[in-house]
Structure 1
Amino acid sequence: MYKNLSKLDWDKIKEILSQFVYSQGAKEKSLTLEPIFSYEKAINSQEKAKFLWNLIEKGIHFEIPSLQSLGILFDKAKKRGFFLSKDLCQIKLWLSSIRKYSNLLKNSPFHNLINIWEKISYFENNLENILNCENGEIKDTASYELFLIRKKIKEQQEMIREKLERIKESLNKKGYLQENLIMKRDGRYVLPVKVEYKNKIKGILQSVSQSGATVFIEPAGIIPLVNELEELQWKEEKEVLKILKEISEELLKESIYFYELEKEFIEFEISLAKANFGRIYKGIFPKLKREGEIKFYSAIHPLLILKKQKDPSQKIVYNDFIIEKGLLITGPNLGGKTVSLKTIGLLTLMAQTGFLIPSSFAEVPVFSKIFIDLGEEQDILEGESSFSSHLKNLKKILEEANEKTLVLLDEPGKGTNPEEGSALISAILSELLNKNTKVILTTHSQILKSLALKLKDLKIATMEYDLEKMEPTYKLIYGICGSSFAFELAKKLGFDPQILQKAEEFIERKEYQQLERILNKEREKLKNLQEEIKAKIQDLIKKEKELEEKKKEFEKIYLEKLENQLNEWQKEFKDFLKRFECGSSSGFKKVYREFNEFINKKLKSVKPISREDIKEGDLVYVKPFAREGIVVKVKDDVVEVKLGTLKLTLSKKNIIKISQMRNLSSFPLLSKTQLEYIKNSIDKKENREIQKIEVNLLGFRVDEALIEVERAINKAFLKGIKKIYIIHGHGTGKLRDTIRKYLNTHPLIKNFEVAPIYEGGNGVTIAYIQDKN
């Protein structure tokens, strides 16, 4: 199943993906990446790429260094017995690179990576203590013994240099030296001596220059010192090896975690590469589903976008690809049939493997298998023809295809007798559709085109071709059986008309030719109908705009009239205010009564709410209780309203829909200042006549006490009494807490408070009753 994926440009996609990864293992993995054919794994892969894509969109930049494969490093260390210092620096780089993003990835689809890293992260500090990764060497402080050895080495080197310096100056004064320099040959300190003076100097001849004019002699006076230095260096190497073996032993004990760490990190890096790759062509994450139609809207092959970016003069065309069960793509050669077929196949593979895809919208069912029969399959070595090779593929497809399979066929049936080949493909195609297999194929065959007109599950489409310009438009048009345009193209190219006429006579009796003529007539009718519908739609849009303008005009007139009427009411009401401000107590009652009559009279002139205006679930204002409630049930002119824990049956006259109240709120009868003034004045006058009710609940059970409280509240509300003193005592506090909880949700209670100390303190609760409207 995988061997033909290269024909869908899958290998090219992998090659580009590899350019977005940096670790050795991720590069190898990206180049051998296989598509996902499991719904659960596809969802998981997409979630990982989407998580990183969202972080990138927020401005987070991931910097991944070039990392050697941990698996290879550990395999070599196991054979060698220890890690080299440069290998340890690579391991330290791995740990530090993951640490940078550990907080971002901890609670993410990559939590496994961080969980493994946390188990071995301490090695980063251990390696930091012994390694100097700038020069790739073990630090002097890696052990006390190493510190002492290297100190002695430095002292020994200084002694050698000082002695050499004295010898050099002495010999240079005598004119024995070719140059006044101290040099090294094969790790030994030497002086460049003129060849004629070589016997004048005691020492060991280490080498001779190419010209023979200079000999390099190690003075005898420093040989014991150099030998001691070499012994110290041997001890240094031995101590370094000891340190390397100790840390290597610790690392190798935890090798399983490092292998798992690399595996998880490769998954992270490839997911990051998918997100970064998708940003290049501005892709989207498709909706993945278990079954259903393939839908790619305004989609294109990603390699065409990349080609366009390199060469802006390239023309690219976006198409909609919609496959319910089967799709037959027709059209001329070089018209884009095969490109469309490959685009559908590649986008499907990318979608279910976690890639973003170049499309404005996409829905893709995750397939368990994708079969491809594309291009030439001839095998000369096996003595196999192209057609027989195709037949082998088709046989395999028939045996293994099911409802979870996508089959892509490019001009099947070619390479043999056209009619026999087309007939065979027709039978295979019918069988695949009966299995509910998704099938997409391209063809020039008239027999297959005729079949598409008979099979309801096989939709037909064509690649558009501009005959005037003699070039393809690469647009895929559905519902049309396209021609190969062989005669038209031949005519344009100047073929003899007699030859073309004879050619037409050869096929005019064929059933499919007659069907194509009928189809072309229907196509013309459809085109005219489309133009007619388009014109009517434009006319409807124009009329809709005119109606909308008239609506706005009427609304403006209505609002102006409403505002004028409300202004008149406001003027009339100012008279009440003047009389109210200077009125006595009895005058106040008269004004208050007139005020109610005035309001009722004006409200009656407002159009009442129709029965349809109020429905179940509406938020309404209940006038008698001055509270908001929710409509539970509506029957004729009666509604059931829920107020907190209470359910009330009321007439529609006693409620107002909240939305209507808000609509009228922009035209108040009184200003906010005036309403506050009236409210405060009424409160002052009525406060003189406030009475109170006391409810003594001492000795009552909780359920009995709540009954008494409810009676007192109803009595106070009906009589217009503003507050109730509820005596519940201190006790355990259970009765007090239950009563206060009850008061807190009661629709007739405005608020409540603890009584002052001189009236009972925390043993008494004062409840304030809502005003009657």
Structure 2
Amino acid sequence: MQQRVLKVLEFDKVRDQLMKHAASSLGREKAAALVPTSTLQEAVRWQEETDEAAKVIRLRGNAPFGGLTDARASLKRSIIGGMLSSQELIEIAGTIYAARQIKHFIEDMVESDIELPLLDERAKMLIPLTDLEKRIKQCIDDNGEILDHASDTLRNLRQQKRTIEGRVRDKLESMIRGSSAQTMLSDAIITIRNDRFVLPVKQEYRSTYGGIVHDQSSSGATLFIEPQAVVELNNAVQQARVREKMEIEKILRELSEWTAQDADAILRNIEMLAEMDFIFMKARYAKEIKASKPELNDSGIIKLFKARHPLLPGDNVVSNDIALGDEYSTIVITGPNTGGKTVTLKTVGIFTLMAQAGLQVPALDGSELAVFQSVYADIGDEQSIEQSLSTFSSHMVNIVDILRKADENSLVLFDELGAGTDPQEGAALAISILDEVYGRGARVIATTHYPELKAYGYNRDGVINASVEFDIETLSPTYRLLIGVPGRSNAFEISKRLGLDDYVISSAKGHMTAESNEVDKMISALEDSRKQAEAEMADAEKIRKEAEQLHNELQQQILEFNEQRDRLFEKAEKEAVERLAEAQTEAENVIRHLRKMSKEQYGQIKEHELINARKRLEEAQPVFQKSKKAPAKKKTEHSLKAGDEVKVSSFNQKGHLVEKTGDKEWQVQIGIMKMKVKESDLQYLGTPKEIENKPLATVKGRDYHVSLELDLRGERYENALMKVEKYLDDAVLAGYPRVSIIHGKGTGALRKGVQEFLKNHRSVKNARFGEAGEGGSGITVVELK
């Protein structure tokens, strides 16, 4: 990729944002050197690694990289025999600790059946050097100080040093406590100069203490004197310190030698940890910009859903759907300036670079991007004073370079193509340049405000017009991209809104050619058709969701019915087995009794005894009580009318009549579904009180199509409560036992208001927040009476 293109598309700014999420200087170094790859296989692997790290962050919050530092220079010095400082050694121990922690962390997740094949592969390459880590930490504390128990010799030397220092202090403190000390000393304290214990003595009493002068105050009034009485003891302290220093150097040298033995393994760990920090850095950045993993291809196909430029503030940016490379390979975006054309151009460019660099993009799941060998961009005012080039000349220098290199594996972005020169010549040049790049098979997006290029998209296969929507009411762009609709200047509408007289506008329209007027009318008709299609699509989507929800509810009811039926069958079977067992036992008892009687009476059994035995056998036969069918209700002669509650016998479902559709046929509302049912299949249940006293025309005109959910998000407080009251009345009339009110979480004001309102409503039996799978505290589930 050209460095100029990376800068023009602001990839360097994305890198700067990415670097803020590094856990170490190693990760920042990787991010600073990041450039997009032009290989599909490599880009796919990078994306999969980022996605695995995003999964880890989603499940565990973050990955443990504590202790990781860039110890490469220290390790290389140990290899050539250098002695490392205690601080360098403790940093190396921290890096070993970081490798051990991240290795165990990934392995634990994999053992928990979380699929992380690429991260697990990297974690397995980390070498846990536990022995070296323990050796270093046994000798050095976290602040880099050598511990007493680093060696027996060091412990003894420090004990001797502390003993001698104690004797020196005792000697000097006895001097401080002397009767003349208050007169001769500037201050009654023991201090240190040149690593030796001294007393602050006034200048005039220097000869009293004798010894060695090590320093004096800035005024010269105080001398810091080592009294003769402690000189020998101070010498002993110094000797102890020298021996201590030599022992510390010996310990550090031994630790450095042990480190050198494992230096190559630690360097490999550092390289792997840097890569893993870099991967998790990309995942943390993806979380910040609410990005998702794009699917990648090498077919030049781009499909973006609700794409947002990553450098624009999330609250203000408008998302757009963008498609290129499938049905058409060139998009020409026309329309006035400041409408968002350049932002759209840069969004496609930066998304492509991010995807090829392993970065997720701020768009919805299912978005798709192509991996290009080259990305070319001619964007912005590149007037060059140093080279004495005008804006047009500077653009042409870039375009000439693009035309030399662009091919079927290229993405080419032109901003204001042909601008900076005569409009007629500029438009002709723009068409010729687009033809050339299009003919080479490149994917092209170009912006322009030349009206001649509007016809370009209609006259060539594989080319489509687009524009950025402009709101005439507010006189401002909405920044929504409209594929298939060329841009309009809107000059007449804006002028009219701003107060220009109609006759002036009419005169201006007369100066326009018939062709221009026809094109303008065509564009206006396209915009109206698009808005109507969007509204109809939104309605259809709403109905589809309601039908899907009803389908799911019915499926759940069928599952519950089947489970209940199976339980009843199981219970009946168990009861039958028990009764048969009882009958068999009774029959055996009867037979045994008969045999006994036969033996005792020698075959002369009386008739009444046989009759009693037969009766006992008959009573032993199990009798299963059949379920009683409810007696069929006599059909009451009732003249059905719209609004009556009925039961559809064939479906065993309740509903109400909407209107009569035939001689013996009615349209019935069951939940949110309407169906035609024969009058013979209907059973009258009653007439709701709300409908009894209403005229027939009012009942027929009422629309009982009520959703199972009411969405209040974005509503004002008062309007929301009015909608809730009307919705509950409609839901009760529709016979719903339970509905849901979506109010969102937000500040909690709307949620609290809805809850308070529901507590006092006459039709509400119970109200609760949704479960975790229902929407949580952003939704209230209402049970109706």
TM-score range, shorter chain: 0.5 to 0.7
SS at match of 1:302: coil
Partner residue, 1:401 = 406
Partner residue, 1:484 = 489
| Sequence identity percentage | 31
Partner residue, 1:763 = none
The normalised TM-score by structure 2 is 0.63
Identify which of 330, 333, 355 aligns with 2:334: 330
2:265 is aligned with 1:261? no
- List gaps (5 residues or longer) in structure 2: 111-116, 563-579, 591-785
Contact 2:330-2:438 within 8 A present in 1 as well? yes
Per-residue deviation at 1:190? 0.9
2:441 is aligned with 1:436? yes
- List gaps (5 residues or longer) in structure 1: 309-314, 560-576, 585-773
CA distances 1:653-711 after superposition (whole Å, capped 9, x unpaired): xxxxxxxxxxxxxxxxxxxxxxxxxxxxxxxxxxxxxxxxxxxxxxxxxxxxxxxxxxx
Per-residue deviation at 1:410? 1.0
Distance 1:427 1:235, change over 3 A: same
Contact 1:163-1:222 within 8 A present in 2 as well? yes
SS at match of 2:411: strand
SS at match of 1:4: helix
**Quick one: distance in 2 between partners of 1:535 and 1:105?**
44
CA distances 1:582-615 after superposition (whole Å, capped 9, x unpaired): 999xxxxxxxxxxxxxxxxxxxxxxxxxxxxxxx
After the TM superposition, which residues 66-85 of structure 1 pair with which residues of structure 2 at under 5 Å, given as runs? 67-74=68-75, 81-85=82-86
Aligned length: 553
Per-residue deviation at 1:118? 0.9
Identify which of 277, 282, 286 aligns with 2:290: 282
**Quick one: distance in 2 between partners of 1:459 and 1:58?**
43
**Quick one: distance in 2 between partners of 1:418 and 1:76?**
67
**Quick one: distance in 2 between partners of 1:119 and 1:149?**
34
* Stretch deviating more after TM superposition (171-180 or 332-341): 171-180
Distance 1:167 1:428, change over 3 A: same
Partner residue, 2:24 = 23
Letter of the structure 2 residue corresponding to residue 417 of structure 1: D
2:203 is aligned with 1:200? no
Distance 1:276 1:541, change over 3 A: closer
2:171 is aligned with 1:163? yes
After the TM superposition, which residues 53-132 of structure 1 pair with which residues of structure 2 at under 5 Å, given as runs? 53-65=54-66, 67-74=68-75, 81-106=82-107, 108-111=117-120, 113-118=122-127, 120-132=129-141
SS at match of 1:88: helix
Partner residue, 1:297 = 305
**Quick one: distance in 2 between partners of 1:183 and 1:64?**
44
* Stretch deviating more after TM superposition (213-222 or 121-130): 121-130
SS at match of 2:185: coil
Distance 1:535 1:466, change over 3 A: closer
Partner residue, 1:351 = 355
**Quick one: distance in 1 between partners of 2:535 and 2:176?**
107
Distance 1:521 1:319, change over 3 A: closer
Per-residue deviation at 1:23? 0.9
SS at match of 2:184: coil
Contact 2:65-2:101 within 8 A present in 1 as well? no
**Quick one: distance in 2 between partners of 1:257 and 1:230?**
41
After the TM superposition, which residues 370-385 of structure 1 pair with which residues of structure 2 at under 5 Å, given as runs? 370-385=375-390
**Quick one: distance in 1 between partners of 2:521 and 2:424?**
22
2:194 is aligned with 1:186? yes
Per-residue deviation at 1:187? 2.1
Partner residue, 2:522 = 519
Contact 2:5-2:375 within 8 A present in 1 as well? no
**Quick one: distance in 1 between partners of 2:181 and 2:536?**
111
After the TM superposition, which residues 412-427 of structure 1 pair with which residues of structure 2 at under 5 Å, given as runs? 412-427=417-432
Partner residue, 1:391 = 396
**Quick one: distance in 2 between partners of 1:484 and 1:75?**
66
Contact 1:466-1:473 within 8 A present in 2 as well? yes
**Quick one: distance in 1 between partners of 2:451 and 2:381?**
22
**Quick one: distance in 2 between partners of 1:363 and 1:542?**
25
Partner residue, 1:318 = 319
SS at match of 1:413: coil
Per-residue deviation at 1:334? 1.4
Distance 1:93 1:377, change over 3 A: same
Letter of the structure 2 residue corresponding to residue 341 of structure 1: L
After the TM superposition, which residues 700-719 of structure 1 pair with which residues of structure 2 at under 5 Å, given as runs? none
**Quick one: distance in 1 between partners of 2:182 and 2:535?**
114
Partner residue, 2:757 = none
The structure having more radius of gyration, on CA atoms, is: 1
Partner residue, 1:272 = 280
Contact 2:217-2:223 within 8 A present in 1 as well? yes
CA distances 1:427-472 after superposition (whole Å, capped 9, x unpaired): 2212222222111111111222211111111111111111122111
Contact 2:412-2:443 within 8 A present in 1 as well? yes
**Quick one: distance in 1 between partners of 2:199 and 2:437?**
89
SS at match of 1:377: coil
Contact 1:116-1:257 within 8 A present in 2 as well? no
Per-residue deviation at 1:272? 1.0
**Quick one: distance in 2 between partners of 1:37 and 1:123?**
42
Per-residue deviation at 1:417? 2.0
Distance 1:530 1:283, change over 3 A: closer
Per-residue deviation at 1:26? 1.6
CA distances 1:348-372 after superposition (whole Å, capped 9, x unpaired): 2222322222222311122222111
Contact 1:95-1:117 within 8 A present in 2 as well? no
Letter of the structure 2 residue corresponding to residue 208 of structure 1: Q
Contact 1:112-1:264 within 8 A present in 2 as well? no
Partner residue, 1:762 = none
SS at match of 1:190: strand
CA distances 1:145-196 after superposition (whole Å, capped 9, x unpaired): 4333323322322232222233333365574223321111232211122333
Letter of the structure 2 residue corresponding to residue 519 of structure 1: M
**Quick one: distance in 2 between partners of 1:160 and 1:69?**
44
Contact 1:333-1:484 within 8 A present in 2 as well? no
Distance 1:464 1:90, change over 3 A: same
> Aligned-residue CA RMSD in angstroms?
3.9
Per-residue deviation at 1:28? 3.0
CA distances 1:28-63 after superposition (whole Å, capped 9, x unpaired): 332342223221121111121111211222234324
CA distances 1:698-734 after superposition (whole Å, capped 9, x unpaired): xxxxxxxxxxxxxxxxxxxxxxxxxxxxxxxxxxxxx
Per-residue deviation at 1:408? 1.4
**Quick one: distance in 2 between partners of 1:56 and 1:153?**
52
**Quick one: distance in 1 between partners of 2:138 and 2:306?**
57
Per-residue deviation at 1:290? 2.4
Per-residue deviation at 1:542? 14
Contact 1:113-1:261 within 8 A present in 2 as well? no
CA distances 1:57-88 after superposition (whole Å, capped 9, x unpaired): 22343243474422344466679932211111
Per-residue deviation at 1:240? 2.2
After the TM superposition, which residues 723-742 of structure 1 pair with which residues of structure 2 at under 5 Å, given as runs? none
Partner residue, 1:458 = 463
Letter of the structure 2 residue corresponding to residue 83 of structure 1: L
SS at match of 1:110: helix
Per-residue deviation at 1:251? 3.0
**Quick one: distance in 1 between partners of 2:45 and 2:5?**
25
SS at match of 2:118: coil
SS at match of 2:178: helix
**Quick one: distance in 2 between partners of 1:85 and 1:330?**
66
The normalised TM-score by structure 1 is 0.64
**Quick one: distance in 2 between partners of 1:165 and 1:543?**
91
SS at match of 2:22: coil
Partner residue, 2:736 = none
Distance 1:121 1:214, change over 3 A: same
SS at match of 1:3: helix
Distance 1:534 1:10, change over 3 A: closer
